[in-house]
């Protein structure tokens, strides 16, 4: 029988557990998984199951409102900086003290909780206090890509829900079933890093293959001249803007659908909240797109390194192996810097100047 968890393809073990948890919920759950594991999808599917009288039927108005992030009793905490601030955690706690407006629960969603352990004033202790004294009708749904040791006390207060990234083959099958050609589905699945939402955007992107080739062509275009490196960086930054087109189109379609649904119900869309949600998604998509490009470029340098390792040894080959390793290290550092909210254009310029001698 179909339900809200059917959208979590490839997460059979987690889904089986979540269906049981929804029947007799406790006060807090921590969802974790690597980038592309559809953690956010799982989190909102579970929120729908908690609110739905039938524990997540997937077709009722309650499920639809939660899945559209339009349920007044499902609060998504907002983070304005790189780390969680004390006032943001306190606002989430304040909402947690409210009585739900409907017959379900007051659900408080806090994503990226690993970022409560970072920054000048870590907020993990404040979050822990909220979890230790929850109101009876409040449920916290937390998420993290990785769970550092500093979160052990928070983990101990939650039911741990682990998800995994989807296999490329699983994504391909899903996309083909939704109407994509085998070639388009394969390209989108390869570029999605296990993320079904991203794959559904990429399958509508006619320029995906061209962007892959643009990244793979970078080493051949770095001549050692700063002007050439700067030009490549600007073009890569522009390609990030172009990659947003299909996502923005999908978001506009979603906005139109929500407006139509609201008119049928005699209400209106909370446009400001929806636009804030879309902006968060756009930021994640840009970051994922840049990570994908860095991965494609890393693959080129790895291929070069392997090619020289397998070739007869000489001084030039040894130099190329070392240069490839240094380039891979530079790309790894760029990947890590993505988590610091550094301007993407500046990051790309720094990277291209680092790579131009390799």
CB 298 within 8 A of CB 328: yes
Q: What is the mean pLDDT of the chain?
A: 89
Find where tokens 């909220």 sit: 130
pLDDT of residue 28: 97
Tens-digit pLDDT profile for residues 297-324 = 999 999 999 888 877 667 777 888 888 9
CB 31 within 8 A of CB 159: no
Residue 56 to residue 127: CA distance in whole angstroms:
28
**Residue 154 to residues 28, 83, 124, 147, 186: CA-CA distances in angstroms?**
10, 17, 8, 10, 40
CA atoms of 3 and 57, how far apart (whole Å): 5
The mean pLDDT of 74-98, rounded to a whole number, is 90
Low-confidence winner among 81-85, 207-211, 228-232, 242-246 (lowest mean pLDDT): 81-85
pLDDT of residue 21: 97
The confidence score (pLDDT) of residue 259 equals 81
Cα–Cα distances in angstroms (integers) from residue 314 to residues 162, 309, 323, in the given order: 48, 10, 14
Instruction: Report the distance separating Cα 222 and Cα 228, nearest Å.
Output: 6
Res 353 pLDDT > 80: yes
CA distance 282 to 91: 24
* Mean pLDDT along residues 349-358: 91
Q: In the chain, which ranges are continuous DSSP H helix? A: 12-23, 39-51, 61-67, 86-96, 124-132, 152-156, 168-177, 182-191, 196-202, 208-216, 218-221, 226-264, 271-310, 315-337, 344-355
Q: Cα separation of 153 and 147, whole Å?
A: 11
For every residue of 83-100, DSSP letters joined together read: S--HHHHHHHHHHHTSPP
Residue 1: pLDDT band by 50, 70, 90 thresholds? very low
- Tens of pLDDT, residue by residue over 112-165, are 999 899 878 889 999 999 998 888 899 999 999 888 889 999 999 999 999 988
| pLDDT the model gives residue 170 | 84
Q: Global pTM?
A: 0.65
Report the pLDDT averaged over residues 74-79. 91
pLDDT, mean of residues 39-68: 94
Of the candidates 75, 46, 71, the one whose C-alpha atom is nearest the C-alpha of residue 58 is 46
Look-up of token digits 């990785």: 146
Q: Which two structure tokens, joined as six digits, stand for 134? A: 């929850």
Q: pLDDT for 256-308, tens place per residue?
A: 887 887 777 676 766 776 787 788 788 889 988 999 999 999 999 999 998 88
Task: Tell me the CA end-to-end span of the chain in Å, nearest whole number.
Answer: 56
Helix, strand, or coil (residue 110): strand
In the prediction, which pLDDT does 233 show?
95
Q: What is the pLDDT of residue 118?
A: 85
CA distances from 295 to 237, 288, 302 (A): 16, 10, 10
Least confident of 45-49, 91-95, 182-186, 309-313: 309-313
In this structure, what token pair is assigned to residue 9? 């393809």
**Cβ–Cβ < 8 Å for 355, 330:** yes
Give the C-alpha distances (Å, rounded to integers) separating 354 from 221, 226, 334, 341, 346: 14, 10, 10, 20, 12
Q: CATH assignment of 4-162?
A: 3.40.50.300
The neighbouring-strand residues paired with 74 are 107
Determine the pLDDT at residue 207: 92
Give the sheet arrangement for strand 74-76, strand by strand: 74-76, 106-110, 138-144, 28-32, 159-162
- As given in the structure block, the two tokens for residue 189 are 């699945």
Domain ranges of the chain: 4-162, 167-204, 206-355
Looking at the chain, the whole-number percentage of residues with pLDDT higher than 90 is 59
Residue 147 or 49, more confident: 49
Distance of CA 71 to the CA centre of its chain: 22
């Amino acid at each position: 029988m179909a339900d809200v968890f059917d959208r979590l393809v490839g997460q059979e073990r987690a889904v089986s557990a979540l269906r049981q948890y929804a029947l007799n919920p406790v006060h807090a759950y921590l969802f974790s998984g690597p980038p592309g594991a559809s953690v956010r999808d799982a989190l909102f599917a579970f929120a729908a199951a908690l609110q739905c009288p039938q524990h997540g039927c997937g077709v009722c108005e309650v499920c639809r409102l939660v899945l559209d992030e339009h349920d007044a009793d499902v609060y998504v905490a907002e983070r304005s900086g790189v780390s969680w601030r004390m006032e943001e955690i306190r606002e989430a706690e304040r909402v947690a003290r409210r009585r739900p407006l409907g017959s379900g629960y007051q659900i408080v969603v806090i994503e990226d909780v690993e970022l409560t352990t970072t920054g000048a004033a870590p907020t993990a202790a404040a979050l822990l206090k909220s979890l230790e004294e929850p109101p009876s009708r409040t449920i916290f749904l937390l998420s993290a890509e990785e769970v550092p040791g500093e979160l052990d006390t928070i983990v101990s207060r939650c039911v741990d829900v682990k998800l995994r990234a989807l296999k490329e083959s699983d994504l391909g099958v899903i996309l083909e079933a939704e109407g994509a050609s085998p070639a388009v589905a394969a390209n989108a699945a390869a570029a999605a890093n296990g993320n079904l939402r991203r794959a559904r955007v990429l399958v509508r992107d006619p320029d995906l293959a061209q962007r892959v080739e643009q990244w793979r062509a970078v080493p051949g275009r770095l001549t050692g001249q700063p002007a050439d490196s700067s030009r490549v960086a600007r073009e890569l930054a522009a390609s990030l803007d172009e990659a947003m087109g299909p996502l923005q189109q999908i978001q506009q379609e979603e906005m139109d659908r929500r407006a139509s649904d609201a008119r049928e119900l005699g209400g209106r869309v909370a446009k400001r909240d929806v636009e804030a949600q879309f902006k968060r998604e756009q930021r994640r998509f840009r970051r994922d797109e840049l990570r994908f490009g860095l991965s494609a470029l890393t693959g080129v340098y790895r291929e070069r390194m392997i090619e020289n390792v397998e070739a007869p040894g000489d001084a030039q080959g040894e130099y190329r192996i070392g240069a490839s390793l240094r380039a891979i290290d530079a790309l790894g550092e760029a990947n890590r810097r993505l988590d610091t909210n550094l301007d993407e254009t500046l990051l790309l310029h720094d990277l291209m100047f680092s790579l131009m001698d390799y």
